[in-house]
Structure 1
């Protein structure tokens, strides 16, 4: 029985760590989600203006300190003239360019 005891401690410790991580994620999920929606909306709008209004290449816009944010990725659809910013598993926002209105953000996806 003594040989099984260390294995139980290791397994129980891993289960405890997983439970704490899951609990913290659940506790802060709303705040993380809200923050991600705001960050992606800002990045999509700013990158759209940089790319389509200013005519800069997307790589140049992505390097701009006003747009570059941790965990926010930018994706361009040249044919539709849209820029989408996303944070994996949390949020995605799109801004569309039109000559008449400039960059207009799609309805926020909550």
Structure 2
């Protein structure tokens, strides 16, 4: 009769623990690398976000309240690369707010005789 090796099972268990540690290290380093990249490029991201939201609010407001199109139809007028910007309309105040997630927000309001005007913002 062949005796089972008591160390064979612990070696297999040990290699599973090593894989878990390796996966945790890779995930941890990926999170740190992502955070460092966002930190390095924070100013360009903030600038792009504020300009993209202001542009989208102004174009969306003009499309909606000057041209009379639906807001859903107006989303087609955004430039390529602005897919992250969302538009929300307020019928009562005749305004459109554009949001670049977690970065910037801008609102444009329709004013008779002036068209759509951006609210004051820091760019």
Give yes or no for TM over 0.5. Answer: yes
* Aligned equivalent of 1:15: 28
Deviating 4+ runs (over 6 angstroms): none
Q: CA RMSD in A?
A: 2.0
* Aligned equivalent of 1:60: 73
How many residues are aligned here? 110
TM-score (structure 1 length as normaliser): 0.88
Question: Computing the radius of gyration over CA atoms, which structure comes out larger, 1 or 2?
Answer: 2
TM-score (structure 2 length as normaliser): 0.79
Structure-2 change in CA distance of 1:53 and 1:39 (3 Å): same
* Aligned equivalent of 2:91: 78
Summarize deviations over 1:48-91 as a string: whole Å, max 9, x none. Answer: 11111112221221123559831010000000110011111011
Instruction: Give the whole-Å Cα distance in 2 for the aligned partners of 1:84 and 1:65.
Output: 14
Equivalent residue in structure 2 for 1:51, among 64, 79, 82 = 64
* Aligned equivalent of 2:7: none
SS in 1 for 2:98: strand
Runs of 5+ unmatched residues, structure 1:
none
* Deviation at residue 7 of structure 1 after TM alignment: 2.0
Between Structure 1 and Structure 2, the one with more helix by share is 2
Instruction: Give the whole-Å Cα distance in 1 for the aligned partners of 2:32 and 2:109.
Output: 42
